[in-house]
C-alpha cells in the first residue's frame, strides 16, 4: 500500500472549556494531535496490517482496522514519518499495549494503544 502524502495536522485534540471527563478511561496522559500517518501493525502469525493513524501523542495512538484486537494484548507497529517534515525516510518501531477497542459503523474497529518502548529504525525494509 502506498501513501502519496501524509496528512499531518498539528492541532491538539481537546475538550470544550469546562467540560468534565466522565470516566477515568477517557483521561489522557499526553496531548493528542490529529495526524494521519502511515502505520504498519506487525503480526508474526498473519500478514502485517497496513493502515494509518487517526491521532498520535508521545504516549500512544489511535487507528482504525478491520482486524480483531483485544485490550491488554501487546502490539508492535511501525509509524512512518512524512519526508516533507523530516527531510528523509524516518520510521519508528514501537511496542505497546492495546488499551481500548471500539466498534465502528463501517466494520472497522478503533484501536487505542499506549506506547511502552520505541526506537528509530534505519531506512530500508523493516522486519
Going by C-alpha positions, the residue among 33, 36, 90 that lies closest to residue 60 is 33
User: At 94, which CATH number?
Assistant: 2.40.10.220
* Torsions phi, psi for 66 (to 5 deg): -85, -15
Q: Residue 48's closest CA among 35, 65, 60?
A: 65
Range from 14-18, 29-33, 94-98, 108-112 carrying the lowest mean pLDDT: 14-18
24 is a domain residue: no
In this prediction, residues 71-93 reach a mean pLDDT of: 91
Task: Kindly report, residue by residue over 57-75, the tens digit of the pLDDT.
Answer: 989 999 999 998 999 999 9
Q: Evaluate whether 66 touches 109 at the Cβ level (below 8 Å).
A: yes
CB neighbour list of residue 99: distance below 8 Å, 6 or more residues apart:
60, 71, 112, 113, 114
Q: In the chain, how many domains are there? A: 1
Q: How confident is the model at residue 106 (pLDDT cuts 50, 70, 90)?
A: confident
pTM listed for this prediction: 0.72
| Residue 63 placed within a domain | yes
Amino acid at each position: 500500500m502506498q501513501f502519496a502524502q501524509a496528512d499531518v495536522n498539528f492541532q491538539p485534540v481537546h475538550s470544550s472549556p469546562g467540560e468534565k471527563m466522565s470516566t477515568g478511561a477517557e483521561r489522557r496522559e499526553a496531548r493528542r494531535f490529529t495526524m494521519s500517518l502511515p502505520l504498519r501493525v506487525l503480526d508474526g502469525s498473519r500478514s502485517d496490517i497496513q493502515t494509518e493513524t487517526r491521532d498520535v501523542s508521545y504516549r500512544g495512538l489511535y487507528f482504525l482496522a478491520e482486524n480483531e484486537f483485544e485490550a491488554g494484548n501487546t502490539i508492535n507497529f511501525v509509524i512512518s514519518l512524512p519526508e516533507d517534515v523530516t527531510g528523509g525516510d524516518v520510521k519508528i518501531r514501537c511496542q505497546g499495549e492495546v488499551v481500548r477497542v471500539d466498534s465502528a459503523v463501517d466494520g472497522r474497529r478503533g484501536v487505542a494503544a499506549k506506547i511502552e518502548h520505541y526506537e528509530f529504525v534505519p531506512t530500508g525494509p523493516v522486519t
